[in-house]
Amino acid sequence: MILTFFMLNFYNQSNGNGDNFVSGNGKNGKVKSSDINKYTDPTGEFGAKEFKRAVWYVKNKVLLHKIFISCLVGICAIFWLFSLWQWGDYLIFGIASDERLYNELAMPVDYTVIHSKYSPQPIQILGTDIFASGANKYDIVSELANPNEGFLVNFDYYFVVGAEKTKAQKGFLLPGENRPAAFRGFLSYPPQAGLVIENLVWERISSHSVPKVKIWQDARLNFSASDFSFTKSFGTDGAAADIIKFKLTNNSAYGYKEPDFYVGLFQNGSMVGLLSLHLSDFKSLETRDIDTRNYASGLSATDIKIFPLINIYDESVYMEPPK
């Protein structure tokens, strides 16, 4: 009795066609194509869409690389062409233009036109008068005007009387201000006198900090005089002493530490004398009773005018606001 054993050969399986070749071809010998859309990831992390995109990228990776390189080459070509065009334009036209510019810069420029437009106009001296202020004493008074609405000016000034000149004094004028500058107490009558102004320093007022200069200044220099009286009197030594009384009110919202004033004495609209007035701690909305004297003989005044000598652009002149 003969026993025959058959073993299953895992490496040579039959395909049911009588041969031992397992084929991946479909009908008519064509290769079967898998349906990517039907692909299912058992883990649920990689779907059919992602798989399809990955397959497309792998198939077109070389083409995408070529397109990217072509774009870079095109951009470089554009920049090179632009550079060549600019260099050509400079060689043809730019060199000649530079030479013309150098020649124009070397030409002298008349800055007087620019100076007259942007620089401040000079101080105006409107007239000089001489007033008696006492026994053998005289005041030399000049009326000055600053025609510039945007410039503050500081200066030194003195008067020339014949071969003599008075002591130099420091003065200033606010933008657009018109007021006297004086030397008081000259010891002999000067038949005529000339004013000399020197060492001028102009300060431009910034329109950012003070947009409307006149309104800003008027709000700070708001002083008024009332109840003015002028009385003739004689002292025990026979010297004439005019009694001048009035009330001075600070109508502004600012107090001033040591303000100075000129008090102009007027007769029928014309100035006939000048007084100096110094106050201490003149508070906002305060009214002071002023009682002063003038020893000029034959003087008569019907009105007064107050000229503040306060540089309101200097922060040190202001009193601290009440707490």
Domain containing residue 312: CATH number: 2.60.40
Say what the pLDDT of residue 203 is. 94
Q: Is the domain of 202 the same as that of 229? A: no
Q: Is the domain of 241 the same as that of 191? A: no
Range with lowest mean pLDDT among 44-53, 265-274, 277-286? 44-53
Say what the pLDDT of residue 10 is. 44
- First-to-last alpha carbon distance for the chain, in angstroms, is 134
d(CA 242, CA 65): 108
3-state secondary structure of 44: coil
In the numeric block, which tokens belong to residue 35?
A: 């349906």
Note down the domain range covering 193.
121-206
Residue recorded with tokens 């000089």: 128
d(CA 287, CA 285): 7
Q: Is the domain of 150 the same as that of 233? A: no
Q: Is the domain of 139 the same as that of 193? A: yes
Q: Is the domain of 285 the same as that of 200? A: no
Check: CB of residue 177 under 8 Å from CB of residue 146.
Answer: yes
Q: Is the domain of 58 the same as that of 133? A: no
Residue 172 lies in a domain: yes
Residue recorded with tokens 């006939």: 272
Check: CB of residue 152 under 8 Å from CB of residue 206.
Answer: no
In the numeric block, which tokens belong to residue 291?
A: 């009682």
Residue recorded with tokens 């038949």: 191
Q: What's phi and psi for 39, nearest 5 deg?
A: -70, 135
Range with lowest mean pLDDT among 10-24, 53-67, 305-319? 10-24
pLDDT above 70 (res 6): no
Residues 60-71: pLDDT tens digits?
Answer: 888 889 999 999
Residues 93-134: pLDDT tens digits?
Answer: 888 888 888 888 887 766 656 666 678 999 999 999 999 888
Say what the pLDDT of residue 102 is. 84
Count how many domains the chain has: 3
Say what the pLDDT of residue 56 is. 86
Q: What is the mean pLDDT of residues 258-282?
A: 95
